[in-house]
Structure formats: structure tokens, C-alpha cells
Structure 1
């Protein structure tokens, strides 16, 4: 069945008073309108009970059979530094193939490390931050996920990985992902806080190729070689697994692919790293599947 096309909407350019009023009535909170943060498809605000409410608009074509209750389902995870989830609800936009979802969660006072996904200035994070990142990602990887990750709101599948890599790097002929593990699936610098570490925005989490989170944070650091190197060093076991190398190349394909922006400071580093990754995948390909480089 073909899903109806969703009308493109940028919430930064829309009147959201009605949406916020509905959220207040349903969650029985008062939103502090002075703290409202609007993004393209989400809006968030502080409440009168010192919690945070995040609201997202998503089209039917971006909601699979598993639904999109990521923050709610992530509440059962243990050993991961993340905001506690309190309540949530969803509703359909009248006359549109669109759903809205609101989640109330613990207020995180630390600010995101970056205002956007990539960073162009060194955040100078303390060693304790990196230790907390490693502990959370290691804990996440040991748990079960009842859902498949949806990075960029698109369900990640073997077919998606193969198609994305094939369009940009056709010389990579073996794109089979060997290891799948639970992942945050949107681990950008805008979704981690600092200097106190916390992982926020769990709407897209689920099973994903091993190394997806590490590759995403690494890729968002490419404009700062020292920072990218630090991410790679901290998450080396993931990133130097065969699946991790594929995920790093998967990220490079998004930056350097058909929709590459010539002014993206990650563009040239991504092209350079892609050449290295392709060479390393070739070396790994000489070993039996499942073996790991030293």
C-alpha cells in the first residue's frame, strides 16, 4: 500500500499555539512559553513542574508498523545516562496523514554540546564525559530492543545500507552487516549534553548495525580532526569492527553523496576518510567474516 504524501512543514514557520494548548490540556501542565525551542519538526518547552515536554510532528510515511514511541520504550533501559520518561500521548492531525506526539520527561539542565548535529569548535570535554559516554554506549549494547532504529526517521535495514553505499561507493561490493545491536540512532553533538554527560532525544532508538552511534558522533566531528580522532579512539572496538567500518562509510556517503553541500566543512574530510575506510574494508574482507582487525 502506498502511503499518502505528507505536506512538508517547518515548525519554525508555523503557528503552534493550538498544538501547545492541546499538550497542556492533555498532560495537565503549563508550558513556559518563554522557554519554547522550535526546530524543523519538533518543539520543546519547560513546564511548571520542572519537567521538559518535547513535541514532534511526523508523517505516516515515516511511521512504520512498530510505531514511534521511542522515548517511552527507551524508559526500560538501564545503565544509560538519559532523562527519565514520565508520560506521553499522540494524536492525528485532522485531514492530514500526520501524527503528533508529545512526551514529558525529566528536565536536563546541562546544555547540548552543539547547537547543531556537527561541531566546528572543540567542546573541550573532560575525561569524565568520555567515560560516561563509553559506559552508556557499552550498557546500551548489552540490552534488547523491541524496535528497529530509524536514523533520520528512516528505518535502517540491510537494503538501505547496501543502496546508500552502492550509490556513492560502488567499489564496495560486500556491504553485509554482520552485527546488530541497540543504538540511540541519532547520536549527534546536539543530542548529548556537556560538560555533564546525558543522551537526549530517544525517538529513533532501536536495533542497528554495530557502530552506528560511534560512527555518527565521529562523522559529526570531522571538521575537527583532533575531536574525530578522540571519538575514534574511545570507540575503537566498535568502529574497527567490520560493521563499524561500514557505518563510518555509511555516514561519509551521506555527507559526500549526491546531496553534498560544497560549504560543509566535513565534506573534504569525509572524502578523505572514505578512501581510508574502503581500503580497510578491503583488508578486512581478506579475513573470514567475523574476525576483527588488531
Structure 2
């Protein structure tokens, strides 16, 4: 990965800054800050996959997002260039993006500390997510078949009817957000039940009740009949991860949330 990252930097005529590298899950991605020949700060991210798996939603997510959203009024780091290569059965895709220098709001997707964010930040977030939801796409982030299987198993209710399918970032958590507002990591975006992004952010806020309450206030679809399908889907997804040994600190709050969802379904 390091050798291919260095090769790609030369191919794209950027200089990687020494001493800083960031590895993704299971070593699948490698990112590092860099500068262009003119000195502009950029981010060079390399993703790898077996050659026969180098396609589909996750592989093309950033490129598709650039075509669909651009820089989203400055709230999404624009993709500047893509470089593809194959070596000995492994495919590599390098993505060169505008660098976001602001730190993410949390080092973990699950919020572990209280945040003091201005009203303007929340207003920008709500407006940005509204723009995302209105984009037309045939990409799919959440499948009806998954909802019909997972919600009964993990939440204990039949999958609620989806009143509206809209476009979602589909990974809206605190490690993908900065202040001033930037939304990072656009691999998995696509169609999902309306309110999916706000339900996701709410779920990752459950350890901090004040922030969770603020999410619900900013996104009033949460708690409404129209939001039930998205909330149940997110709750099921995260309880499924708990069953696999991940996100264990959220187990108690997720159980409480699933109980609330069962009450709402039967009301």
C-alpha cells in the first residue's frame, strides 16, 4: 500500500507530507496529507480491493458523489483527480481531494464528549442534508429486503412502511463531521428511508443526551410516524453490530430506543 501510495503521488504530481499516514479498516485504505506542485493542500487516499471486487457502490462512491454533489456549497471536500492501477490481482484507486484542515468533531463515530456547536452549525447541517436528500440517484444505501429481515430480528417489530425514499449520505456520524461544517467519507451514499441520516446521527449521540436531544430538535422527522422506518432501520443496524461485539457502549441506549420504537409502532 505504501509503495502504491508513493507511486500514485508521483503520477498525480503531488508531494506527500512526511510523518503522517492514516490507515482505514483492515488496512484497506491509506490516506495522507499532501501538496500540489503549486503548494495547495490536498488529501491523497488510496483504496485497494481484489481486482474482481473493484467495482460497485463503495468503490465508486467518492467519484459518483463528485458528479452528483460537487463540493456541496463548500461542505464537501471536492474530488480533484482519480488514478487507477492494477498489480498482481489487486486493484488500487487513488482519490485526490481538497484537504480539510479542521479536525473531526470526534475521534470515534460514537460521541463521547459534549459538543458546544453554534446554532449556525446546526442550521447549516439541516440545510445541507436537505440538499443531499433532494439529489436524484439510482444508488442504493439501504435495501427493503434488509429492513424486512433485520428490523423484526433486532427491534422486534415488523419493518414499518417507508413513506418516502430519499438520498442519504448514509454514514453521518461524529467522526465524519467538522466545524466549520464539512461532511467526510462519501463511499456509501444512496437511497434510504427518509430521515436515515438524522436517525444515524441521533444513534451515535445516545451517550450524550443533550446532543441527542438537539439532533431530534433540529430534525423533527425523528419521533414522527414518517421517521419510524428510518429510525427502526438504524436501530436494527447498530444492534446487529452489537451482536457481533462492536459498539457495545451503545447497547443499553439502543435497547431503550428499540423499546420506544415498539411502543410507537403499536400506538
Question: Could you tell me which residue of structure 2 aligns to residue 85 of structure 1?
Answer: 79
TM value normalised by structure 2 = 0.86
Match of 2:47 among 46, 50, 56: 56
Distance 1:236 1:60 in 2: 44
Cα deviation digits, residues 23-66 of structure 1 (max 9, x gap): 21332212113222122232211112211112223457876655
Are residues 269 and 200 of structure 1, via their aligned partners in 2, closer, same or farther at CA, if it must alter by over 3 Å?
Answer: same
CA contact (8 A) 1:254 1:260 kept: no
Question: Could you tell me which residue of structure 1 aligns to residue 233 of structure 2?
Answer: 250
Query: Structure 1 residue 80: deviation in Å?
Result: 6.7
Where does 1:1-294 land on structure 2 (aligned, <5 Å)? 16-40=1-25, 41-49=28-36, 50-58=41-49, 65=56, 68-75=59-66, 76-77=68-69, 78-79=72-73, 81-96=75-90, 99-149=91-141, 156-170=142-156, 172-194=157-179, 196-237=180-221, 239-242=222-225, 244-257=227-240, 259=243, 261=245, 264-283=248-267
Please give the secondary structure, in 1, of the residue aligned with 2:35: coil
CA contact (8 A) 2:195 2:227 kept: yes
CA contact (8 A) 1:70 1:205 kept: yes
Please give the secondary structure, in 2, of the residue aligned with 1:134: helix
Structure 1 stretch displaced more, 240-249 or 68-77: 240-249
Please give the secondary structure, in 2, of the residue aligned with 1:68: helix
CA contact (8 A) 1:42 1:55 kept: yes
> Root-mean-square deviation (CA), in Å?
2.4
Are residues 118 and 48 of structure 1, via their aligned partners in 2, closer, same or farther at CA, if it must alter by over 3 Å?
Answer: same
Cα deviation digits, residues 141-184 of structure 1 (max 9, x gap): 122124222xxxxxx210011111122134x1243323111111
Distance 1:282 1:31 in 2: 56
Query: Structure 1 residue 204: deviation in Å?
Result: 1.2
Distance 2:174 2:80 in 1: 24
TM value normalised by structure 1 = 0.79
Are residues 132 and 186 of structure 1, via their aligned partners in 2, closer, same or farther at CA, if it must alter by over 3 Å?
Answer: same
Distance 2:53 2:149 in 1: 18
Distance 1:64 1:272 in 2: 38
Counting matched residue pairs gives 257
Q: Structure 1: where are the runs of 5+ without partners?
A: 1-15, 150-155, 284-294
Structure 1 stretch displaced more, 63-72 or 76-85: 63-72
Distance 1:128 1:30 in 2: 36
Q: Structure 2: where are the runs of 5+ without partners?
A: none
Are residues 54 and 174 of structure 1, via their aligned partners in 2, closer, same or farther at CA, if it must alter by over 3 Å?
Answer: same
Please give the secondary structure, in 1, of the residue aligned with 2:178: strand
Structure 1 stretch displaced more, 265-274 or 173-182: 173-182
CA contact (8 A) 2:5 2:30 kept: no
